Chain A
Amino acid sequence: MSIFQSLDITASALTAQRLRMDVISSNMANVDTTHARLVNGQWEPYRRKFVVMEPRQEGFSTYLQAAMNSRSSVGNGVKVTKIMEDQTPFKLVYDPSHPDADPNGYVRLPNVDPLKEMVDLMSATRSYEANVTVFNATKGMLMKALEIGK
C-alpha cells in the first residue's frame, strides 16, 4: 500500500471524467450528422455514445488477502469499461430539400438530445472538480507528512 495510492485513485477518476466530457463533445459536435456510418450500403446518422464506468478491480492477491482477513481492500479507483451506442430510434424530421431525405421527404437525424448532453456535461464537470479538490487535499497531506520531525 503506497502513499501515492490515493493520488492514483483520484487520477483514474479524472481520466474517466475527462473521457466522459470527450464523448459528450463528440455527441454535441455530431448533433446534425446524417452521414456517420455505412450500413448495408446505406448511410446511417450518428448514434449518441455514452461511457460505461465501473470500479477498478484489484488483483487476485488483494481479494485473497481480504478473504484471509489480513488486509481489507480499499478499492482502486474507477475505469471506463466501454463506450456504448444509444440504441434509441433516430429523430424523423420532415425536410424534403435535405439530400438525405427519403422518398416521403423525411430525414433521419441523430438521436442526440442537446439538453441531455448539457446535463451530463454539468455532471461530469462537477465530478471532475470534486476530484481535483480531493487531489489537492491529498497533496496537502503528503506535503504535511514531510514536515514530520522538522
Chain B
Amino acid sequence: MSLFSRTFMMLEQGLDYASLREKVIANNIANVDTPNYKAKEVRFRAELDRALQPLEAKRTNPKHLPFTRPMTNKFLVTSRTNVVYNHNGNNVDIDQEMSYLAENQIYYNALVEQLNGKFTTLKTVIKGGK
C-alpha cells in the first residue's frame, strides 16, 4: 500500500489542467486585438476521444500498426472556430475570457487547499495524532 493515495495524482492532474488553462486564457486575452486570431480552449483528450469514437482498423496481422497512437498528454488545445464576434475575424470574447480567468483562479486555489489538506492529514497520521 502506497503512502500517497490516488487523490494526490488526481489533484496533480487538476493543477496541470488549471495551469495549462491559465496559459491558454492569457494567450487569448493577449490576442484580443489581433486580427484573425481564433480563441483557444483546453479539452480533456479522453473525453474528446470518447466523443469522437476513435477509429479502429481491423488488423489481420499483429505487425499491422494500430490507428490510435499512444497519447502522452491528457489535454488538448483546440481553436474555437464556430463563432466570430469581430469584423476583423477575431473571436475572443473578452467578458467570457475574464470570467474563465476568475473561475480558473478559484479552481486552482481550491485544488491547492485540498492538496494541503491531504498533506495535513498525512502529517497527523505520521505523528500519531500528537
> Which A residues fall within an 8 A CB radius of B?
1, 3, 5-6, 9-10, 12-13, 16-17, 20, 53-55, 69-78, 123-124, 127, 130-131, 133-134, 137-138, 140-141, 144-145, 147-150
CB pair A133–B98 under 8 Å, yes or no, is yes
Q: A72-B76, A134-B101, A148-B112 are in contact. Are A123 and B33 (CB under 8 A)?
A: yes
> Which B residues fall within an 8 A CB radius of A?
15, 18-20, 22-27, 29-35, 37, 40, 69, 71-73, 75-78, 94, 98, 101-102, 104-105, 108-109, 112, 115-116, 119
- Assembled-state Cα–Cα distance A104/B110 (Å): 73
**6 closest cross-chain pairs (CB), A and B:** A13-B30, A75-B27, A72-B77, A6-B26, A6-B23, A9-B26
**CB-defined contacts of A131 to chain B, threshold 8 Å:** 29-30
**CB-defined contacts of A70 to chain B, threshold 8 Å:** 72-73
CB pair A13–B29 under 8 Å, yes or no, is yes
**CB-defined contacts of B35 to chain A, threshold 8 Å:** 53-54
CB pair B25–A134 under 8 Å, yes or no, is yes
Q: Could you jot down 26 A-B contacts, CB within 8 Å?
A: A5-B23, A6-B23, A9-B23, A9-B30, A10-B26, A10-B30, A13-B31, A13-B32, A20-B33, A53-B34, A54-B35, A71-B72, A75-B40, A77-B26, A77-B31, A127-B33, A130-B29, A130-B32, A134-B26, A137-B101, A137-B105, A138-B22, A140-B105, A141-B22, A141-B109, A148-B112
